[in-house]
Amino acid sequence: MESSLFDEDIDLESFTETILNESLPIETFNLHTLLEGEIELLSIKNKHNFYVKDASNLTIHAASIFAANHTDAVLHIIRYMASFETPTPHAIAHRVVHGGPNLPQHCLINDKVVRELAMTSAFAPLHNQAALEIIQYTRLTFPHLPQIACFDTTFHAHMPDVAKVLPIAKALYLLGIKRYGFHGLSCESVVVQLNNATNLRTPKRLIIAHLGNGASVTAVKNGQSVDTSMGFTPSGGVMMGSRCGDIDPGILIYLMREKKYDCNAIEALINHQSGLLGVSGISSDMRILHEAAATNPNAQLAIDMFCYSVAKQIGAMITVLNGVDTLVFTGGIGEHDAVSRQLICDQLAYLKIVLNDEKNNSEIAEVIHTISDANSACAVRVINTQENAQIARHAAILLELVPA
């Protein structure tokens, strides 16, 4: 990360308030990607695909590895970086899905933050425990490096009460049970990219459909989140890969009372046995479902239900914003699945939201790719989510303003 931002005389107090509540322009920092990659879970026990790309986005490493847990996977990354002779890092920044009630802003990690994350693991059991394990491992492995937690909940921290407060007893709100919202780093990256696109108008009324194995729809007004489909946990909202999204809570009561489901069985049902996987009976991967749909009616039903769920939520967010100027698709499905984008927008045709078939089906090379027809009532764009870049920017800000 390079920046001239801190070479100037600035009022740190007012600047700190600005960065905590607003997205900084993308040109604030000159970001050079040295390496980027991922370790992708496979269905074979403990076997994973390990991909690494260089600064030109070319794949320079692709291998199958065995990793028994998250810390084992991190060890593979550390060894690869050492072999590649990357510069010594100044910091390690972590994406943490849920900040809970006491960690609303991105922060440097200390013992107090670790204790707080341990207490909030129950808020997002699919994600936070794994993040905590990696944080604890990297703090032990690199004790002299500052470490930063960047929360997916931070972008939504200033939602109005009408969206944030849940319709339950007030006493539970005081325990931190409210709508937090997730995919915040992805949403923020979309806002930053749109704000700094020289040939586009910054939308005042923006809807972001982050569609992947986890999926959410967020309403953004003047750059600020005002409502989002996920709630207290990342299990709510639209139908997802293996998560059910919003369902009648009476179903869970029925299963506990009549079918003797315990908490573990309920959690398995909601997070691991539902969504695309539950309906299709074959996979949570949209690519596999598209291949099977021609001969498997359950696979086609799963696709239709997913797109129906997303379209309903987009309609709700249009109501929240009193209209829409730009609709953005991002995330794995949002960026790469033209069929799902078309099915979703077909159900919004009554609002005169219309895609251009050629643009929607063409190979997307641009970071921001417009797929709407010239006669569409709003712009529809596909934007490559840049969560890692947002994490890097927040880390740079915290390292400049807060002593390590």
- Catalytic amino acids? 152
Q: Report how far residue 186's alpha carbon sits from residue 225's, in angstroms, rounded to the nearest whole number.
A: 12
Enter the DSSP assignment of 79: H
Pick from 123, 375, 332: which is nearest to 232 by CA? 123
Strands 326-330 and 379-383, how do they pair? parallel
Enter the DSSP assignment of 242: S
Order the strands of the 205-211 sheet from edge to edge: 224-228, 215-221, 205-211, 326-330, 379-383, 368-370
Query: What is the Cβ-side half-sphere exposure of residue 177, based on CA atoms within 13 angstroms?
Result: 10
Count of CB atoms within 10 A of residue 387's CB?
Answer: 19
Pick from 63, 75, 150: which is nearest to 113 by CA? 150
**HEC secondary structure over 114-154:** HHHHHHCHHHCCCCHHHHHHHHHHHHHHCCCCCEEEEECCH
CA torsion angle 236 237 240 242 (round to 10): 20
Pick from 141, 150, 118: which is nearest to 389 by CA? 150
What is residue 38's three-state secondary structure?
strand
Q: What is the DSSP string of 317-361?
A: HHHHHTS-SEEEEEHHHHHH-HHHHHHHHHTTGGGT--B-HHHHH
Tokens of 26: 């993308």
Instruction: Provide the residue type at 57 as one letter.
Output: N
Instruction: Provide the residue type at 65 as one letter.
Output: I
Tokens of 199: 């040939």
Q: Tokens 């077909």, residue?
A: 346
